[in-house]
Amino acid sequence: MAASALMELLKADVYLNDDLEVAGHIYDMADLSISEKGRPRHDGPFVVFNWQESTLFSQTYTGMQNGIPKAPRVLQVWAHIPWEISTDYDDLNRILNRVDFIFNPIEHVTGNDGQRVTVVRSAGRSANLQDEGYRTIARHAVYGVLYDENAA
């Protein structure tokens, strides 16, 4: 997992965990990919981090001479609710709004993994989606995350 500070901040947020009922159900896609249990929660909402590689500004991918050697990494934060429980996308919007609220002020925060997150910038949200595999309604928010793996 990359930049654990972000997940740590979400797991510590009382409003997200208690009022929006996400407590104990924030996952990293890499951990879920090795599990064969299906969706990670059946009785309420859950959040999944999906780290992507940055291809927009990186010298490696674009061959740009003036590209950024340490481009921001793309993070998708997915919010899911089993459709047997709710089909109200406003529930997902409230979760993603809270994630925005938590991520927006981040500046130079170091997680337990020793990686320092310099800044997180919102890059938009998905449409209202249905996940046939998890049998949930879903939306995701996209963030550009600039962090330093060697901060410790």
Which range, of 79-88, 108-117, 119-128, 143-152, averages the lowest pLDDT? Answer: 143-152
Dihedrals phi, psi of 48, to nearest 5 degrees: -130, 130
Per-residue pLDDT tens digits for 140-149: 999 999 888 7
Contact 2, 147 (CB under 8 A): yes
Please give the distance of CA 70 from its chain centroid, rounded to a whole number. 20
Q: How far apart are the C-alpha atoms of 24 and 46, rounded to whole Å? A: 9
Q: How far apart are the C-alpha atoms of 6 and 52, rounded to whole Å? A: 15
Tell me the two tokens of residue 127. 């449409």
**Confidence (pTM):** 0.87
Contact 31, 4 (CB under 8 A): no
Q: For the chain, report the end-to-end CA distance as a whole number of angstroms.
A: 16
- Is the pLDDT at 152 greater than 60? The verdict is no
Q: How far apart are the C-alpha atoms of 75 and 152, rounded to whole Å? A: 22
Tell me the two tokens of residue 141. 């928010």
Contact 36, 49 (CB under 8 A): no
Which carries the bigger pLDDT value, residue 124 or residue 71? Answer: 124
What per-residue confidence (pLDDT) applies to 3? 81
- Is the pLDDT at 54 greater than 70? The verdict is no
Candidates 45, 2, 51; CA nearest to 26 is 45
Contact 74, 142 (CB under 8 A): yes
Tell me the two tokens of residue 47. 């959040």
